[in-house]
C-alpha cells in the first residue's frame, strides 16, 4: 500500500466534529478534533445548519493548530471528506480545501468518509492482511464489508434501519444519559446487569444484516413501565448487550463465510470497550488476527481522511475546483 510523498493535510467536516490532521506516510504528526457535541446536546442530535456554521468557525483554527503542531508550514497535498454526510457541513471542508490547494499550489483529493474509517486500521503502520472483513459501526452506518484491497469493497451485510450508534444515542436519550450516548451507555453499563431487562435482538434469522429500530421502542416501553423504579445501570448494560451481541455474532459469521484472513473493527462505535473486548476474544479463540485503531481514530477524525487521501493520491487520483459534496455515496 503506497502513500503520497511528503506531508498530507486531512480535513474532516462531514458531521459534528471539525478535524484537521497532518500525516507523513502512515505516521500521524497531528490530529486536532474540535467536537460540537455540546452544541447539539440540547437537541439530542445533530442540527445540520448549526453544524455547518460551527464548522465555519472551527475549521481554520483546527487546520492552523494541526499544521503548527506538526511543524509544517505548507503541506504537500490535501485530502478532504466530500461524501457522504451533511451537505452543508461537507461544503465547509471542501470549499476550504479547494481554496488552500489553489493558494498553496498543491494537489487535492476528495475522500469517501467510510473509506476513511475502513482504512483507519492502517494508521501508524499497522499491517492487516487482505482480504479482511471490516465491521464498520458509526452513528450513521452499520456495515459488514469484505475488503479485498484498497478500493475493492464488497458489502456483505448492513442495517435495514437504525445504525448501531443511533441505537446507543436514542437509548441514552430515553434513559436520560445525554448526547452522544455511546460513551454514556458504556459508563453506566459498567456496574449494570446485562440480563436484567430482556431487549429484542433484531433480524435473528438473517445471518449478516442488522435491525436496531425495535430496540428504541423496547427501551421506551421499559422506561414507561418501570418509571422511577428503573435501574439505569442495568438498563444501559441490557441495551449495550442487545447492540454488541448481534454485532459480534454476525461479524464472526461473515468471517466464517468469506475468504477473509482477518477482522477489523472501525467507526465511532468501535470505541466501545465491550465490543472491542468481545471481538478480540472471539478472534483469539478462532485464531483470526483482529485489528482496531486506537479510540481517537475510531470516532470521526481527519487522520483517517488524510490516510485514505494519501493512498488515493499515490494512485494518481486528483480533484479540481469542481469537487462537489454529496449527502449519499456508495463506497468507491
Ligand atoms: O464515526 P462517528 O464518530 O461518527 C459518524 O460517522 O457517525 O460515530 C459516532 C457514534 C455515535 O453514535 C456515538 O454514540 C458512538 O459513535 N460512540 C460509541 C462510543 N463512543 C462513541 N458507542 C458506543 N460506545 C462508545 N464508547
Ligand atoms: Zn464517521
300 within ligand 1 shell (Cβ under 6 A): yes
Which phi and psi angles does 217 have, rounded to 5°? -65, -40
Q: Tell me the CA–centroid distance for residue 203 and ligand 1, in Å.
A: 22
Which ligand is nearest the CA of 179, by number?
1
Report which of 268, 297, 277 is spatially closest to residue 182, judged by C-alpha positions: 268
Q: Given this model, what pLDDT does residue 76 score?
A: 98
Which ligand is nearest the CA of 141, by number?
1
Spans in the chain with pLDDT lower than 50: none
Q: Given this model, what pLDDT does residue 39 score?
A: 85
Phi-psi sector, 124: left (phi>0), alpha (psi -120 to 50), beta: left
The minimum-distance atom of ligand 1 relative to the CA of 273 is 26
299 within ligand 1 shell (Cβ under 6 A): yes
Pocket test for ligand 1, best of 15, 18, 40, 139 (most atoms within 8 A of CB): 139
Question: For the chain, what is the mean pLDDT?
Answer: 96
* Ligand 2 ion: nearby residues, β-carbon < 5 Å: 138, 300
pTM (predicted TM-score): 0.96
Q: Given this model, what pLDDT does residue 98 score?
A: 98
> Considering the chain, what percentage of its residues have pLDDT values greater than 70?
100
Residue labelled with grid coordinates 480533484: 319
Using CA of residue 61, residue 58, residue 81, residue 148, what is the dihedral sign? positive
Q: Given this model, what pLDDT does residue 164 score?
A: 97
The minimum-distance atom of ligand 1 relative to the CA of 140 is 7
Amino acid at each position: 500500500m503506497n502513500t503520497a510523498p511528503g506531508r498530507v493535510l486531512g480535513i474532516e467536516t462531514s458531521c459534528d466534529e471539525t478535524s484537521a490532521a497532518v500525516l507523513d506516510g502512515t505516521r500521524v504528526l497531528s490530529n486536532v478534533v474540535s467536537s460540537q457535541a455540546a452544541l447539539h446536546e440540547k437537541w439530542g442530535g445533530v442540527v445540520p445548519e448549526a453544524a455547518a456554521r460551527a464548522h465555519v468557525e472551527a475549521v481554520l483554527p483546527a487546520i492552523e493548530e494541526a499544521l503548527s503542531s506538526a511543524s509544517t508550514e505548507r503541506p504537500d497535498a490535501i485530502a478532504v471528506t466530500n461524501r457522504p454526510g451533511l451537505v452543508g457541513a461537507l461544503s465547509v471542508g471542501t470549499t476550504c480545501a479547494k481554496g488552500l490547494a489553489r493558494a498553496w499550489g498543491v494537489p487535492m483529493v476528495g475522500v469517501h468518509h467510510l473509506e476513511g474509517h475502513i482504512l483507519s486500521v492502517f494508521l501508524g503502520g499497522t499491517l492487516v492482511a487482505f482480504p479482511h472483513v471490516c465491521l464498520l459501526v458509526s452513528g450513521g452506518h452499520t456495515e459488514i464489508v469484505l475488503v479485498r484491497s484498497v478500493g475493492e469493497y464488497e458489502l456483505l451485510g448492513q442495517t435495514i434501519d437504525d445504525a448501531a450508534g443511533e441505537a446507543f444515542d436514542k437509548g441514552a436519550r430515553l434513559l436520560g444519559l445525554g448526547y452522544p450516548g455511546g460513551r454514556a451507555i458504556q459508563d453506566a453499563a459498567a456496574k449494570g446487569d446485562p440480563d436484567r431487562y430482556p431487549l429484542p435482538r433484531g433480524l435473528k434469522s438473517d445471518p449478516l444484516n442488522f435491525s436496531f429500530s425495535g430496540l428504541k421502542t423496547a427501551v421506551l416501553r421499559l422506561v414507561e413501565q418501570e418509571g422511577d423504579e428503573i435501574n439505569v445501570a442495568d438498563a444501559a448494560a441490557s441495551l449495550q448487550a442487545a447492540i454488541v451481541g448481534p454485532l459480534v455474532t454476525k461479524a464472526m459469521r461473515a468471517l466464517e463465510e468469506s475468504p477473509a484472513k482477518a477482522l477489523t473493527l472501525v467507526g465511532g462505535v468501535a470505541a466501545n470497550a465491550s465490543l472491542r473486548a468481545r471481538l478480540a476474544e472471539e478472534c483469539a479463540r478462532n485464531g483470526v488476527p483482529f485489528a482496531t485503531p486506537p479510540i481517537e481514530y475510531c470516532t470521526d477524525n481527519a487522520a483517517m481522511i488524510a490516510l485514505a487521501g494519501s493512498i488515493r493520491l499515490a494512485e494518481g487520483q486528483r480533484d479540481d475546483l469542481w469537487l462537489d459534496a454529496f449527502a449519499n455515496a456508495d463506497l468507491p
